[in-house]
Structure 1
Amino acid sequence: MTFRFSLLALSLVLMTTDAMAQDVAAGEKSFNKCRACHQVGETAKNTVGPILNGLFGRKSGTVAGYNYSDANKNSGLTWDDAVFTDYIKDPKGKIPGTKMSFAGIKNEQEIKDLTAFLKQFAADGKKGG
């Protein structure tokens, strides 16, 4: 009885984990919403927005060669999962005065997928970061 219960419990955990797993391919598709202003990868350049290589762990407003708003430079934020999640839902709400004009992404799974996609890119733009 205990063995069957343990197997059932393990199955439920695995099913829940699979349903909540991050999907890099879906994150890449979601990144299409960002491409008008941001780039990632080894050939990425600052455009309307800064490059997003090596985003997680980086202090806000610090990409060389990009002209950030004072609000972004002085936000004191360091990008991690929680900060990015709050920001991408409502950029102007998280950093009032930011130049980023984007309505935001509200869907939690889409944010997780986008996060997984962005986390692939190290500061040098190579995948595996």
Structure 2
Amino acid sequence: MKLQLAAFAAALALAGTALAAEPPAAFSACKTCHKVEAGANGIGPSLHGVAGSKAGTAAAGFKYSPALTGWGKSWDDANLAAYIANPKDTIPGNKMVFAGLKNPADVSAMVEYLKTLK
């Protein structure tokens, strides 16, 4: 019985690590266009797996702007933060219409959340 309970507890712990964190409140501005499930593109690409990927490659089947695909950088913490705060200045010519998050705490929370979407 103890062995079964230990196995069950271990399985629950492993299952919990595979789940994404709860989205920060600022994500409400993003969910109109973006989904977080793999392969679920909307007006914007799915954000699943975006953290750490090369810009313009994470969402299979999504038609990214030439500005984004030509940017040539990866979505590390600094690049994600810059883009979330000011998409138009970070990658001029991209097609995202969102003006960006102005509160640095919201930007940081969003970067941390995106890193959980694996």
Same fold per TM (> 0.5)? yes
Q: Of the candidates 66, 71, 74, which is equivalent to residue 62 of structure 2?
A: 66
> How big is the alpha-carbon RMSD for the aligned residues of Structure 1 and Structure 2?
1.5
Q: CA offset at residue 50 of structure 1?
A: 0.4
User: Is residue 87 from structure 1 mapped to residue 100 from structure 2 by the alignment?
Assistant: no
Following the alignment from structure 1 to structure 2, what is the Cα–Cα distance between the partners of residues 71 and 41? 24
| Aligned with 1:30 (options 26, 31, 47) | 26
Displacement of 1:121 = 1.1
Task: Determine the structure 2 residue equivalent to 1:51.
Answer: 46
1:14-51 Cα offsets, whole Å, 9 max, x none, are xxxxxxxxxx65x5221111001101135x61111000
1:18 matched residue in structure 2: none
Task: Provide structure 1 residue ranges, at least 5 long, that are not aligned to the other structure.
Answer: 1-23, 123-129
Aligned to 1:3: none
Q: How many residues align?
A: 97
User: Which portions of structure 1, spanning 4 or more consecutive aligned residues, are displaced by more than 6 angstroms?
Assistant: none
User: What does residue 15 of structure 2 align with?
Assistant: none
* One of 32, 36, 43 as aligned partner of 1:40: 36
Percent of residue pairs bearing the same amino acid type: 41
Using the size of structure 2 for normalisation, the TM-score is 0.76
Q: Which has the higher contact order (CA 8 A, sep 6+)?
A: 1
Higher Cα radius of gyration: 1
